[in-house]
Structure formats: C-alpha cells, structure tokens
Amino acid sequence: MFEPVPSHTSVSLGTQKVRVAVLVSGNGSNLQSIIDHIEEGKLNASIACVISNREDAFALERAKKHQLPSFYLNHRSFSDRRSFDAAVLEIVREHSAELVVLAGFNRILSTVLLDAFPLAILNIHPALLPAFPGNHAQRLALQHGVKIAGCTVHFVDPGTDTGPIIAQAAVPVLDGDTEETLSRRILREEHRLYPGVIRLFTEGRIRVEGRRVFISPGEQDSSEYLENPRF
C-alpha cells in the first residue's frame, strides 16, 4: 500500500538559506504565509520560483506582487504526467531550488520529480492523515462526523497523501460548522504549520526512519490528550 522509503535518512542542510520552489494551483494563502514568514525574517529561506498548473491561480498574482519568478504550465498541453513533471523539474533546476513545497497543488507527482528530490518534496493536506486523503477532505470530515479535524505536512511519495508524516495540527469540529468555516479554521493552522516545518527543514532537524519522522532536538507537546468536546 505504501511506497517504501529509505531508512535512517537524515535531511541536513545546515544553516544556509534554502531555496524553495512552491507549486500551486489555487488561491495561494499557504504560499502567502511562507512569503510572510520569509519577509519577517522567521524563515531562513528564499522562494526560488512559483509554478502553477492553472493560469487563473491567484497564487500567481501573489508571486508577482512579491517579484518572485513565477510560471504557468498547462498540464493539458503535455502528453502525459511524466512530461509535465519534466517541464516542472527543468524550471525548478534552472532556479536552483533545493526544496519543493506543494501548496494547494492539485496534481499527483511522478517519479520524474520524486526521484530528483528524494525526501525534499513536502505537501500540506487539510486533514489528519491517514484520514480523508484526496479531494474535499474537510467536507468528508464533516460528513463522517469526526470531532477533531486538522492538517498534516508530509513528505510526498507516489501515492495520494500517503508519504511519511512530519507534523500535524488539530482543530475542533464545531456543531455549527459548514465546509467553509471548518476549512477556514484548518487553514489558520496550515499557515502556522507549513512555515514551521520548512524552518525545521532549513535547520536540518528532520530525520526519517521508514515511515516515522523525528525532529531533533525534541520540541513536542507532551500533554497527554486533546479532546473535543471538553468534559
């Protein structure tokens, strides 16, 4: 079911400024939060390029506003997934990116990209994986009736939202929630979690053993449980 990942792999880039390629398809609020963290000096990174597979993605406007190299590649004009990924890879390489960050990018990656960036492609997903992978995660969480929802940052593998989990944040599902209100609550956490994980990456603090990801030195919430509702 899961693709095997190398064991005992340590990702370490030291303290240098990490060049990040951001792949987007939509609004780009996660891209914005990464830009803001960089501009506020909270992330030792720079955005090497922004690539969208949708011409009307507002994320492209955000990139232009911040004078970031931005590109639109129409996936429909490529004969298959691998040739689209090869074009993405060319741009990513031309801009010397070391980390690839999927921020609302709605395409599955082929091995063309995955093999070029082993354990250096991240994704954010609006659910507590492995629950609700794929599209409409917030809607499915509501329909299922879960009491705690959230978001996950994980390494990308060939599956749909199946790669090793790096970090998760939880939010309560409230009685009056709609897909929109729940999505907004989750997004607020995404905007905190994603830059946080990128920072860990830039600090070389992420270690992967099989499917388990460890952060050094430990910076974890040791409270014994999260609950919703509270008793």
Judged by the rule CB under 6 A, the positions of this chain that interact with ligand GAR are 26-30, 59, 103-104, 124-126, 137, 187, 190
Burial of 180 (0-12, 13-18, 19+ CB in 10 A): exposed
Q: In angstroms, give the least distance from the CB of 90 to ligand GAR.
A: 24
Residue of 46, 13, 47 whose CA lies nearest to 203 = 13
Q: Is 136 a catalytic residue?
A: no
Q: In angstroms, give the least distance from the CB of 27 to ligand GAR.
A: 4
* Distance from the Cα of residue 191 to its chain's centroid: 10
Nearer CB in complex with ligand GAR: 30/70: 30
| Spatial distance between the Cα atoms of 139 and 87, rounded to a whole number of angstroms | 33
Q: In angstroms, give the least distance from the CB of 198 to ligand GAR.
A: 14
Nearer CB in complex with ligand GAR: 92/122: 122
Give the other-Cβ count within 10 Å of 177's Cβ. 18
Of 8, 66, 75, 125, catalytic: 125
Number of residue whose CB is nearest ligand GAR: 104
| Spatial distance between the Cα atoms of 169 and 116, rounded to a whole number of angstroms | 29
Nearer CB in complex with ligand GAR: 93/172: 172
Residues forming the active site? 125
